[in-house]
A and B are shown apart, each in its own frame.
Chain A
Amino acid sequence: MAGRERLTRASHSGLPEWLGRPGPSAYHRLNPLTKATLATVTAVAAVALGGLVGPALLVIGAVLIPAVAAGVLGRLLRLSLLLALPIAISAFLVNLFFFPGGRTELLRIGPIVATAEGLGFALEILARILAISGAVTLFYLTTRPSDLVLDLERRGVSPRIGFVANASVQAVPAMVERAVQITAAQRARGLDTEGSPLRRARGILPIVGPVILGSIAEVEERTMALEARAFGRPGRRTLLWAPHDTAAEGVVRWLLLAGLLVLVVARLAGVGP
């Protein structure tokens, strides 16, 4: 309730409209740090758990069900598969065909043999990769980077660290847009990006050069603009708005971290499957 009141105040106090705008679902409206903790715990737990069942349950319980609740299942599947597919496919094939100690032959292609042991291990790796990419994607789809930065600043994290985190996330779409414009400018000078793979490869330098140089120049200019507005001033900032948070969410975050710690210690001690 306190959070809702804060949100209402923010939207009527003359602050920018995006500040304090509530998310479209209950999952979106969770505190950014809660969502970040969930994503981290899911990713680390998927590695620590081992086996197939644990990571698979994590994918279902910590990724797919929340994604359905947040209404982002379609985008999550598309994006996380796009992210994970190259690694997942190569890891799956390598483990399927080259698993050391595999004895139960499933398939033979010339000298290469796929084994049942290799298949089992490949599926385990696949489940872990999907859990990690799904957890990260779910966080990305349901959290505005600026909200996380504000929340971290509220908790005493240096604005510089927050800015670096936020700028890194925001730099990706900005660089994509820059690359699109640069590609258009070079194509207008006859660069053939529609021909054979060799022609396309030759077109990389004229695009990558200005993208990188432009990005470096932009970072330098942005830094000077920030310093000109007293960004480097020491001391705490006065925040105009802070993301919604509750005591219950705080408890959940600590429980999740404690659970993860127990799991990691147990695994290190050799307990579990």
Chain B
Amino acid sequence: MPELEARGLVHVYRDSGVRALDGVDLRVAPGERVAIIGQNGSGKTTLVRHLNGLLRPTEGRVTIGGEDASGMTVAQLASRVGLVFQDPDRQIFSSSVTAEVEFGPRNLGRRGERLRASVARALVAAGLADDGEANPYDLGGSRRKLLALASVLAMETDVLVLDEPTTGQDARGVERVREVVEEVTTEGRTVIAISHDMRFVAETFRRVVVMREGRIVLDGTPDEAFAHESWETLSSTYLEPTLAARIGHRLGLGPTPTDEGLIAALAARGRTAQ
């Protein structure tokens, strides 16, 4: 599995002149689970679009497994880095769920049993195993979003990048995405997700990268990212710590970014009091 690295990444949009990335250094080890958070326009999407070559750096470079991504086409990079877009309707075009999921692996040259197996695995992982023959446009918004996820999962890339995977998802859908992230990283593959859902971030990821105005301003574990000392940084990019983190701080329990962490800290305090 390859290591991803962005070094001194700068991106200036030619049309608007906006400097969306302003010297980003980021290294992601194989099998890592990384969430990128930050206000709209902080450069999150611009950053991940460099990982599969959809955008090319104005300055700096991106390497995948030590190889410079600038020498590879998007189609070549797509076999290593899968990117699930935020809006599923911007990619769905097939008349059946199975055909839609087959599109990516077919482009990578997979055929026959290998193709069928990848598609079946992806459909099961996304909870769409019974919808193979359905028309994608007959699915609800939440399931269309899972279909978009399945269509990239089927490509079985070493790196999976998710752009706002929980937006528009119901609780079951969020749980499904969380399971997919855990499954993929258990296989040693890397997951990077952009999200505004702080609870999902705290409960699913082991590393949180906070971006503001094209720069990384915080990089640490969820405990560090949602600890009281980081609240000012989060606030500067219009983010709030999770409710569990705020309750934990109010009760003097230390960092408790997740519900489970908060319950465990409360139980520990109860035991100490006894």
Give the most central of B73, B74, B108: most A CB within 10 Å.
B74
B83 at the interface (CB under 8 A from A): yes
Instruction: Please provide the chain B residues from 68 to 92 with a CB less than 8 Å away from any CB of chain A in the complex.
Output: 73-75, 78-79, 82-83, 85, 87, 89-92
Give the most central of A182, A190, A205, A206: most B CB within 10 Å.
A190
User: Could you tell me if A181 and B75 are in contact, using CB atoms closer than 8 angstroms?
Assistant: no
User: Could you tell me if B74 and A210 are in contact, using CB atoms closer than 8 angstroms?
Assistant: no
User: Could you tell me if A214 and B91 are in contact, using CB atoms closer than 8 angstroms?
Assistant: no
CA distance in complex: A206, B100 (Å): 10
Instruction: Please provide the chain A residues from 174 to 229 with a CB less than 8 Å away from any CB of chain B in the complex.
Output: 178, 181-182, 184-195, 205-206, 209-210, 213-214, 217
Interface residue from B54, B93, B137 paired with A184 (Cβ < 8 Å): B54
Residues of A within 8 A of B93 (CB): 205-206, 209-210, 213
CA distance in complex: A18, B89 (Å): 32
CA distance in complex: A95, B146 (Å): 57
Nearest A residue to B48 via CB reads: A188
User: Could you tell me if A191 and B107 are in contact, using CB atoms closer than 8 angstroms?
Assistant: yes
Query: Closest CB of chain A to B96's CB: distance in Å?
Result: 13
Query: Closest CB of chain A to B233's CB: distance in Å?
Result: 31
Residues of B within 8 A of A217 (CB): 89
Residues of A within 8 A of B54 (CB): 184, 187-188
Interface size on B, residues (CB 8 A): 25
Supposing A181-B90, A214-B90 touch, asked if A194 and B103 sit within 8 A by C-beta, the answer is no
Query: Closest CB of chain B to A139's CB: distance in Å?
Result: 24
User: Could you tell me if B137 and A195 are in contact, using CB atoms closer than 8 angstroms?
Assistant: no
B256 at the interface (CB under 8 A from A): no
Supposing A184-B49, A184-B54 touch, asked if A190 and B104 sit within 8 A by C-beta, the answer is yes
Nearest A residue to B154 via CB reads: A189
Supposing A187-B75, A190-B108, A195-B75 touch, asked if A210 and B82 sit within 8 A by C-beta, the answer is no
B155 at the interface (CB under 8 A from A): yes
User: Could you tell me if A178 and B75 are in contact, using CB atoms closer than 8 angstroms?
Assistant: no
Residues of B within 8 A of A185 (CB): 85, 90-91
User: Could you tell me if B75 and A210 are in contact, using CB atoms closer than 8 angstroms?
Assistant: no
Query: Closest CB of chain A to B163's CB: distance in Å?
Result: 10
Residues of A within 8 A of B78 (CB): 187-190
Residues of B within 8 A of A210 (CB): 89-93
B209 at the interface (CB under 8 A from A): no
Give the most central of B83, B90, B92: most A CB within 10 Å.
B90
B98 at the interface (CB under 8 A from A): no
CA distance in complex: A185, B49 (Å): 10
Query: Closest CB of chain B to A203's CB: distance in Å?
Result: 9
CA distance in complex: A184, B85 (Å): 9
Residues of B within 8 A of A209 (CB): 93
User: Could you tell me if A186 and B75 are in contact, using CB atoms closer than 8 angstroms?
Assistant: no
- Interface code B44-72, partner A: CB below 8 Å = 1, 0 otherwise? 00000100101000000000000000000
CA distance in complex: A213, B94 (Å): 11
Query: Closest CB of chain A to B46's CB: distance in Å?
Result: 12
Supposing A185-B85, A187-B74, A189-B103 touch, asked if A178 and B137 sit within 8 A by C-beta, the answer is no
Nearest A residue to B106 via CB reads: A190
Supposing A184-B49, A184-B54, A185-B85 touch, asked if A192 and B75 sit within 8 A by C-beta, the answer is yes
- Interface code A59-98, partner B: CB below 8 Å = 1, 0 otherwise? 0000000000000000000000000000000000000000
CA distance in complex: A47, B195 (Å): 58
- Interface code B116-139, partner A: CB below 8 Å = 1, 0 otherwise? 000000000000000000000100
Supposing A185-B85, A187-B74, A187-B78 touch, asked if A178 and B90 sit within 8 A by C-beta, the answer is yes
Query: Closest CB of chain A to B55's CB: distance in Å?
Result: 9
CA distance in complex: A189, B26 (Å): 24
User: Could you tell me if B90 and A189 are in contact, using CB atoms closer than 8 angstroms?
Assistant: no
Interface residue from A184, A189, A194 paired with B73 (Cβ < 8 Å): A194
Query: Closest CB of chain A to B62's CB: distance in Å?
Result: 15
- Interface code B128-161, partner A: CB below 8 Å = 1, 0 otherwise? 0000000001000000000000011001000000
Nearest B residue to A194 via CB reads: B73
A188-B82, A189-B151, A192-B107 known; 10 other A-B pairs, CB under 8 Å? A181-B87, A182-B90, A187-B74, A187-B78, A189-B78, A190-B75, A192-B75, A209-B93, A210-B90, A214-B90
* A–B Cβ pairs within 8 angstroms, 18 of them: A182-B91, A184-B85, A185-B85, A187-B54, A187-B78, A188-B54, A188-B85, A188-B152, A189-B103, A190-B75, A190-B78, A192-B73, A193-B74, A193-B75, A194-B74, A205-B93, A206-B103, A213-B137
